[in-house]
Amino acid sequence: MPTANFRPLDVEAIRKDFPIFASTPPLAFLDSASSTQTPHPVVEAMDRYYDTYRSNIHRGIYRISEEATEQYERARQKVAKLINAQRSRQIIFTRNTTESINLVAYSWGSANIREGDEIVLTVLEHHSNLVPWQLLAQRTGATLRFLEMTDEGLLDFTQLRDLLTEKTKLVALTHVSNVLGTITPLQSIIETAHAAGAKVVVDAAQSVPHFRVDVQQLDCDFLAFSGHKMCGPTGVGVLYGKLELLQEMPPFLGGGSMIRAVERDVSTYADLPAKFEAGTPSIAEAIGLGHAVDYLTHAGLEAIHVHEQELLKYAHLRLQDIEGITLYGPAPHQKAGVIAFNIAGIHPHDIAGILDTQGVAIRAGHHCAQPLMHKLGVIATARASFYLYNTTEDVERLCDGLRKAQTLMTRTKGHEKPRRNR
């Protein structure tokens, strides 16, 4: 149910902010779950930094460096406000979701996880929220346990209480699956995990860009996401953490900017957030991310979510008409704007390749979620994903392209060489 001051998206106006859609015929970009397009105001903000006040931050006693510092810190405040963090020093700028999760695994993990402890993950996880925990488990002798999913692609919440024991120190899970679009019932999982004495890390790479996420309401301990999946530039990501946890954690990377005082043999460390931002950060990118937050906030995260839900329902209906198609994941109302599918007799890479010739960009492969692929019993799928700039016409072009792929592949059957899986 939309809130009182709800304003639907003006998709036509939004598309004008993205120069990439100016070509004819326009690109049907259906791969925003990988990385989104960038609106002009974000590029402009970064250009302004490079053209008028480019300098390093937190050190220069001259005007342009002070300006750069102010803009960088303003971006941190915007990100804090976006996810309703209490204080902006709870926002650590990293390179991406992957680095944010690795930071927690190395810093919090090394200080808190011991042999015999258990870390609970889910079968939906992107490799970014799996491999860092495997490495931690190998370093410490901890064990990984997994929450499975139902045949509908929903997490099997009934198993959770059995999985959580006094040995469980951490639950790390995605908010939205990048393959199935499944929205996980975070609030109840976090409450249950906390009741069992475990901390919770949320991989919000596919949620923060698409709907309102409130870290205080969720009460998660850590939350990670990437700028490039939310209309921001590549090279900047975010780690949010509870203040007392971040304060207790040892540094992740050592070097300049993260110290208070350095002796030959020992150092003391800077306060948050500098303690976790060693070296010169991605200054232009953080400033760009701040402007991406402005852009999304101005469009309205609620409106973005409603728009994606409409596209998702429309796409489900239209795709179901395609012969031999298998759609993976739960019903549209239980998921975000991602649709994974396969078409009988056509490799997903061939589907993506043929769609590309029609100006339609989708992703094909294992989507960095191989355990989930194994669970689904496939090696790969095709995947279309939506964002604020997509239209029903993009969905039509996807469906037309898929029918073309079927015709082409039926014609070439019998002439093809066996292909390797990429």
Residues of the shown chain interacting with ligand 7TS in the complex, contacts defined by CB under 6 A:
33-34, 96-98, 126, 128-129, 174, 178, 203, 205-206, 226, 363, 367-368
Whole-number minimum distance, CB 321 to ligand 7TS, in Å?
26
| String of DSSP letters for 23-37 | SSSPPEE-BTTT---
- Cα–Cα distance measured from residue 226 to residue 239, given in angstroms and rounded to the nearest whole number: 9
- Cα–Cα distance measured from residue 17 to residue 39, given in angstroms and rounded to the nearest whole number: 5
Examine residue 25 and say whether the peptide bond preceding it is cis (omega within 30 degrees of 0): yes
Residue 377's alpha-carbon distances to 17, 91, 177, in angstroms, are: 41, 39, 17
Nearer to ligand 7TS, 96 or 390 (CB): 96
Nearer to ligand 7TS, 107 or 178 (CB): 178
Nearer to ligand 7TS, 198 or 362 (CB): 362
Whole-number minimum distance, CB 177 to ligand 7TS, in Å?
7
Whole-number minimum distance, CB 69 to ligand 7TS, in Å?
26
Whole-number minimum distance, CB 101 to ligand 7TS, in Å?
8
Question: How far from each other are the two terminal CA atoms of the chain, in whole angstroms?
Answer: 43
Residue 93's alpha-carbon distances to 208, 260, 359, in angstroms, are: 15, 19, 35
108, 136 Cβ separation under 8 angstroms:
no
Structure tokens at 156: 């099997």
Nearer to ligand 7TS, 375 or 404 (CB): 375
Whole-number minimum distance, CB 302 to ligand 7TS, in Å?
21
What amino acid occupies position 226? S
Nearer to ligand 7TS, 47 or 148 (CB): 148
b/e sequence 5-16, b meaning 16+ C-beta within 10 Å: eeeebebeebbe
Q: Which of 220, 231, 368, 399 is catalytic?
A: 368
* 231 classed as catalytic: no
Active site residues: 368
